[in-house]
Amino acid sequence: MKLYNTLTRQVEEIESVEDKKIKMFVCGPTVYDLSHIGHAKTYIQMDVLSRTLRAQNFDVFYLQNITDIDDKIILRAKDKNVSWKDINSKFEDEYYKDMKALNNTSVDRYEKATENIDNIKRQVQVLLDKNFAYKIENDGIYFEIAKFKDYGKLSKRTELVENDAQSRIDQSDKKRGWNDFCLWKFSKPGEPVWEADFGKGRPGWHIEDTAISEKVFGPQYDIHGGAVDLIFPHHEAEITQMEAASGKSPFVRYWVHSGFLNIDGQRMGKSKGNFVTIREVLKKGYEPMSVRLLMLQSHYRSSLDFSWDILDAAQNSYRKIVSWADLRHQGFSSKDLSNDYQTYIEAFEKSMSSDLKTPEALAILNKMIKKIDEENAQPDSSAIGKAVELLDSYLGLRLLDSSDISSEQKTIIKKREEARKAKNWAESDRLREELTREGIAVRDTDYGSAWSRI
């Protein structure tokens, strides 16, 4: 299994610290609003990474944090005149609903920032004790970048550029260095507060991730994932504070970053106001797995330009894939096609294990589907069943969710075939219409009637 490592700028063979065991952390949401489809892209592609590692026989533990205390949450609560807990509780629940709808179900454990305050305080105290952090009165505890010589090794820079998460830069005219970042924010009137020996307050943004991952994984682990805008300053800050605290390097062996989702030529984001929520897409009647398929049609490291037209196309493509997957229920047999499918499967697995080349893998899937029509080849239900099971273990497109049709419906299809053989076209049409009313389409082929759901 090979992945592109942002830290080394190379595609590398995955070698876990413990043989075949992978500890994987992905930055989760700040729960102050509904997730948009830019978030969907990242979390779908990270879910597929986890599934692919498991399909390649790695024992994966997938951890994700939930940022449930943050400036954005506090501001939204003030704007709505409700408790900050009401905001984070509501949108945490909504996040889980969206992830379940998109079949992002491979996360083993979620950890909230507010459930890790003691771990956060402990890490801040270590950085103070080691003289990597300093205190600004009436402000907070800051990490002093100048004290850490390797700052910038992930991003290969120390300055901001256009698409960085710039809203997360902590502003203070009393900082020793412009890019020093806040570990602990001292409390202000009306804000949530926790007691600490170094001053009452609440955690900064970067510190929660390392406090959580250290608690669950220890000071070093295998894979850290997230969107590309988090490389600087967020992930750079994570490396800085964890390696400074532990004295161990590397903090993470492989850094994996997903490309942006763009709309109208610009990165989709709430700060830009040019976003479409996952919920909005689903309310328009799009199938969740069509959204998932759309995100897999581009390589995870590439950007994707969103439009409703390409989502329409993805929905049509998904329905064709489901119709092919349903052939596993239909009892066709072809030894020759079964052999061809094994070749396709090997090519598919090679693409997925080579830096998650999902566009290439989907092209192979489409070849499997088209072979039946283009060569008038008889499908092999058993081979298709095995292929569907394996492909879905990688892609998570819920192809195994569709059940067989009822015995009564199969009887109608058989009667329709008999009517066609007898050239009783009126009866054949009547039976087709009966099936259509039950949501089943029938396609006549040289090898028999193939059904699919409408």
Residue 261 DSSP SS3? strand
Does residue 34 contact residue 47 with C-beta atoms inside 8 Å?
A: no
Q: Are 88 and 31 in contact (CB under 8 A)?
A: yes
Task: Count the neighbouring beta carbons within 10 Å of the beta carbon of residue 447.
Answer: 14
Residue 401, number of CB atoms within 10 A of its CB: 11
- Residue 307 backbone phi and psi in degrees, to 5: -155, 160
Structure token pair of residue 242: 């964890």
pLDDT tens digit sequence for 290-335: 999 999 999 999 999 999 999 999 999 999 999 999 999 998 887 6
Q: Are the CB atoms for 133 and 125 separated by under 8 Å?
A: no
Q: Is the pLDDT of residue 374 over 80?
A: no
Alpha carbon distance 185, 194 (integer Å):
10
Alpha carbons 238 and 65: distance in angstroms, whole number: 13
What is the predicted pLDDT for the residue at 446? Answer: 79
Handedness of CA 314, 316, 318, 320 (dihedral sign): negative
Please give the model's pTM, rounded to 2 decimal places. Answer: 0.94
pLDDT of residue 230: 96
How far apart are alpha carbons 293 and 102 in whole angstroms?
A: 10
pLDDT of 167 strictly over 60: no
Q: Who contacts 120 (Cβ-Cβ below 8 Å, separation ≥6)?
A: 113, 184, 203, 207, 208, 211
> What gap in Å lies between CA 200 and CA 429, rounded to an integer?
77
Lowest mean pLDDT among 116-125, 314-323, 324-333, 409-418: 324-333
How much is the pLDDT for 171? 78
Q: What is the pLDDT of residues 54-80, one digit of tens each?
A: 999 999 999 999 999 999 999 999 999
Work out the average pLDDT over 247-275: 89
CA distance linking residue 441 with residue 420, whole number of Å: 16
Closest CA to 127 of 140, 114, 144, 113: 144
Give the largest Cα separation in the chain, rounded: 92
Lookup: tokens for 420 = 């066609």
Q: Is 438 helix (H, G, I), strand (E, B) or coil?
A: coil
d(Cα 4, Cα 354) in Å, to the nearest integer? 9
Collapsed DSSP state (helix, strand, coil) of residue 258 = strand
Reduced to 3 states (helix: H, G, I; strand: E, B; else coil), residue 222 is strand
Backbone angles phi, psi at 364, to 5 degrees: -65, -40
Residue 235, C-beta contacts closer than 8 angstroms, at least 6 positions apart: 154, 155, 224, 226, 255
At residue 169, does pLDDT exceed 70? no
273: pLDDT strictly greater than 80: no
- Pair 441, 451: CB distance under 8 Å: yes
Mean pLDDT of 350-369: 96
Confidence of residue 398 (pLDDT cuts 50, 70, 90): very high
Q: Which residue has the higher pLDDT, 229 or 270?
A: 229
* In the predicted structure, residue 450 carries a pLDDT above the cut 80: yes
Q: Is the pLDDT of residue 222 over 80?
A: yes
Looking at residue 379, what is its pLDDT?
Answer: 83
- How many percent of the chain have pLDDT more than 90? 82
d(CA 371, CA 153): 48
pLDDT of residue 336: 67
* The pLDDT of residue 165 is above 70: no
**Residue whose structure tokens are 């092209």:** 363
Residue range 80-98: mean pLDDT, rounded: 98
φ, ψ for residue 236, nearest 5 deg: -60, -40
Q: Which residues pair with 109 in a beta bridge?
A: 63
Contact 403, 61 (CB under 8 A): no
